[in-house]
Chains A and B, each alone.
With several copies, the nearest count.
Chain A
């Protein structure tokens, strides 16, 4: 089954449990070893192709997170991933070690693409290796699209013990106040998410799906089931929602429905079937939509998706 997650930092399940209820997996905002108040305001800005944020990883720190937040999350959230971050491999290891004993944590997402940490091939893999050393939980490496060759970083992460990839984090962007021509954000530049990221995230998922066999959580500008299906056809097994949640807290339910409809319009019973076709698998009779869609004739072409040229 295709799972729908939130993108880290784009939902607080304790502040908005009804929104989290629509998800298959809830991912926390990135937690760092020490508490962080985050960057000074202004922290968000909007342009016509996306939004910027410079939240600055505001979080209570791993100790308070484990003591104060984890118990309540454990109670409320059926499937919980914790995103961890830091400024060195040791930071990541420290957070992972602190989480290792908690059964309620199903996976750990390593935010190796935090805007304050550059992530060249060896650093990302060093982080994954350090985390691997202290926990047996599944590790998802979350990569930045601002890499000359994301596929090689993904391969390095796989070799270092990552169990999956989260693709992608934001791009660095800048928006000026049209009146003053000054940067809107206090930090000047920030992370660009939303529509502008869509083709970039799709390329990252595609490149990593061809270069590794890791399951991929695709994200970046998903606003509709069609956008989610494109990520799946490019090689993502699951899809995460970020910016769309801000304008549409009902997005988890809506996009899940739209996603299955989008698959069925193409003659496939479910989005998971489209993913299996992307892998090159043949579908069984039950995976073909019983109500063949308007483009049921396209089935044979769909199987070529992951092959490309």
Chain B
């Protein structure tokens, strides 16, 4: 059973390799519609791919969760889709600006998964360059809404890219036909994750929820896991598909409590 794999990983929050640091922005690159924010690493541990950091800058009251995208020497790289007040503030940062970073937080992807295949959709590509590097270029499938968004696909040089109306689950289904033991490691919008979960209940999905703290303090990030509302920042953000999409509900409409409406 894959289901209990999740429980064996160390509780990083209790171990607290997470640290708070006040750092400087090194650069901010446009990658299609996204911003690749380069932050000096300070003493921070980059963590495991799929883990995240809480990023805060003026004038935000609360920090915003961001997956680590790249872990170049001395640097932390975050890929940001500017869709709201917080992500816009982060995407506007200039070199030299101050930023508060707390992490790494949560559970990353299992790097020992059997025959991993990386799956991403839209800004869900964010944690995948670091993941791909850690998995030494495992096969990767990426879906994007438009050619403009697909520019970010270049961050995963070996990836197969599809553009709307083709869905990334189409090449994934083919992949799973030829390699039924393959483990999808996926990040992307909720409908995509649900579709990946339907194809493979042993897939690992990097989920999203609004987060105020990222370290188990606020209970804001509740997501239905194992049929119960649990803190995504403590249980996830990577969760085994079977724990999110409980088999009995597989054919029913997606539970609306799961994930953030786009």
B220 touches A55 (CB 8 A): yes
Interface presence of A45 (CB below 8 A): yes
A17 to B11 CA separation, bound complex (whole angstroms): 12
A9 to B219 CA separation, bound complex (whole angstroms): 8
Indicate the member of A17, A44, A48, A195 with the most B CB atoms within 10 Å: A44
Contact residues in B for A40 (Cβ distance below 8 Å):
229, 256-257
B210 touches A42 (CB 8 A): yes
A247 touches B56 (CB 8 A): yes
Determine chain B's interface SS by DSSP, over half rule: loop
Interface presence of B68 (CB below 8 A): no
Q: What is the minimal beta-carbon distance from B38 to any residue of chain A, in angstroms?
A: 22
Interface presence of A194 (CB below 8 A): yes
B260 touches A10 (CB 8 A): no
Please report the total number of A residues contacting B with Cβ < 8 Å: 35
Which of A41, A42, A45, A246 meets B217, CB within 8 Å?
A246
| Contact A51-B222, Cβ < 8 Å, known A19-B217, A42-B210, A247-B56 | no
A286 to B218 CA separation, bound complex (whole angstroms): 41
A40 to B50 CA separation, bound complex (whole angstroms): 25
B209 touches A246 (CB 8 A): no
Q: What is the minimal beta-carbon distance from B231 to any residue of chain A, in angstroms?
A: 8
Chain A 113-129 interface 0/1 with B at a Cβ cutoff of 8 Å (1 = within): 00000000000000000
Chain A 38-56 interface 0/1 with B at a Cβ cutoff of 8 Å (1 = within): 1011111110101101010
Question: How extensive is the interface on chain B, given as a class?
Answer: 35 or more
Which of A14, A43, A58, A195 meets B210, CB within 8 Å?
A43
Q: What is the minimal beta-carbon distance from B146 to any residue of chain A, in angstroms?
A: 16
Contact residues in A for B229 (Cβ distance below 8 Å):
37-38, 40-41, 58
B20 touches A55 (CB 8 A): no
B59-67, B156-164, B244-252: which lies at the A interface? B59-67
Interface presence of A29 (CB below 8 A): yes
Interface presence of B16 (CB below 8 A): yes
Interface presence of A11 (CB below 8 A): yes
A189 to B63 CA separation, bound complex (whole angstroms): 22
Contact residues in A for B220 (Cβ distance below 8 Å):
43-44, 53, 55
Could you list 19 examples of A-B contacts with CB < 8 Å? Answer: A14-B14, A15-B234, A16-B215, A18-B16, A19-B217, A40-B229, A41-B221, A42-B260, A43-B222, A46-B62, A195-B61, A243-B62, A245-B213, A246-B62, A246-B218, A247-B61, A248-B20, A249-B102, A249-B217
